Amino acid sequence: MKKRASQGPRPKGGVIKIAGEFTNYSTSELERQKKLFDLASALMPMYGPNWHRHSQVTMRVGALSRALYYNYLYQKIVDVPGVVCEFGVQWGATLTELIHLRSIYEPFNYSRTIIGFDTFEGFPNVDAKDGGFSSVGDYSSAKGYEHTLETILELHESFAPLPHIKKFQLVKGDASSTIDTWLANNPHAIVSMAIFDMDVYQPTKDVLQKIIPRLTKGSVLVFDELNCSFFPGETRALDEVIGINKLALKRSPLQPFGAWATFGE
């Protein structure tokens, strides 16, 4: 499990680290969120067979905002061949959203494999270029969680068309290294969308360098912490590999630090 970190002084932007994750929640907001969590926990057993719909009554606006953001991005690759790679999975919420979006927009496109890369043990290393706020082990999930996530994603795919064909893959380990094996084992793979949510400098730089030959004009590069003062490594990695003035970076009002660009444009 994650190391429980105490609430220390707030770094840039009023952000604190709790349980190995950064948050900008105020003390009051954390208290109200705890009340909502307690209500959600009490209500869940009462929802019956449609629990997955009724449980949205306690979903906070940030979760809906993120889902709408990826809905917007996914539509940009429907006519682009290739797989979707998410680098930085943690608990797998975005992978689940991507699987649902594939079921909605292209239910019979079983070539649109969705691959999630993560250590599932948090950051494997932190570079000086990461600004001093991150620590090794931040953003870990539970021990062995990748097996639980595998089961969850299998169940999600079972409710969609072509359930007998597995259309996702989890790759455990430091993506700086595992990307080499994955590329070698998948010489056919074009990357239609690459989502960079590893937050820190070194794996972001390594992976970006290595997947460029697999991008096509029209591939979408997505960055989760660009222009972010407490995760400067992501911006620095992009700048060193491609150059931030070489891409027409765009943002959405739905996410504060999310940015994306269409490769080749």
Span 54-82, average pLDDT: 97
Specify whether 1 is located in the same domain as 126.
Answer: no
Return the number of other C-beta atoms located less than 10 Å from residue 240's C-beta: 15
Q: Which position has the token pair 């539509």?
A: 75
Specify whether 48 is located in the same domain as 102.
Answer: no
pLDDT at 88 over 70: yes
Q: What local confidence, expressed as pLDDT, does residue 85 receive?
A: 98
pLDDT at 9 over 50: no
Q: What local confidence, expressed as pLDDT, does residue 2 receive?
A: 37
Band (4; pLDDT cuts 50, 70, 90)? very low
The residue from 9, 40, 59 where one domain ends is 59
pLDDT at 116 over 60: yes
Specify whether 111 is located in the same domain as 221.
Answer: yes
Specify whether 92 is located in the same domain as 128.
Answer: yes
Specify whether 30 is located in the same domain as 147.
Answer: no
- Of 117 and 14, the structure prediction assigns the larger pLDDT to 117
Q: What local confidence, expressed as pLDDT, does residue 21 receive?
A: 86
Q: What local confidence, expressed as pLDDT, does residue 10 receive?
A: 44
Query: From the CA atom positions of the chain, what is the Rg in Å?
Result: 19
Q: What local confidence, expressed as pLDDT, does residue 18 receive?
A: 84
pLDDT at 23 over 90: no
Q: What local confidence, expressed as pLDDT, does residue 15 receive?
A: 79
Specify whether 148 is located in the same domain as 88.
Answer: yes
The token pair that represents 186 in the structure block: 């998948």
Specify whether 7 is located in the same domain as 138.
Answer: no
pLDDT at 3 over 70: no
Q: What local confidence, expressed as pLDDT, does residue 6 receive?
A: 39
Specify whether 115 is located in the same domain as 239.
Answer: yes
Specify whether 240 is located in the same domain as 215.
Answer: yes
Specify whether 73 is located in the same domain as 143.
Answer: yes
Provide the domain count of the chain.
2
CATH number of the domain residue 127 falls in: 3.40.50.150
Question: Which domain, by its residues, includes 225?
Answer: 60-262
The residue from 41, 59, 77 where one domain ends is 59
Span 211-232, average pLDDT: 96
Percent of the chain with pLDDT over 90: 88
How far is the C-alpha of 65 from the C-alpha of 89, rounded, in Å? 18
pLDDT at 13 over 90: no
Q: What local confidence, expressed as pLDDT, does residue 26 receive?
A: 87
Specify whether 35 is located in the same domain as 104.
Answer: no
Residue (of 242, 241, 232) closest to 13 by Cα position: 232
Which pTM does this prediction carry?
0.92
Span 24-35, average pLDDT: 91
- Contact in structure between 112 and 104 (CB atoms under 8 Å): no
pLDDT at 240 over 80: yes
The residue from 33, 59, 85 where one domain ends is 59
Span 50-73, average pLDDT: 96
Band (136; pLDDT cuts 50, 70, 90)? very high
Span 218-245, average pLDDT: 97
- List alpha helices for the chain, DSSP H: 27-43, 51-54, 61-74, 93-105, 145-158, 175-185, 201-211, 232-241
Specify whether 17 is located in the same domain as 141.
Answer: no
pLDDT at 175 over 90: yes
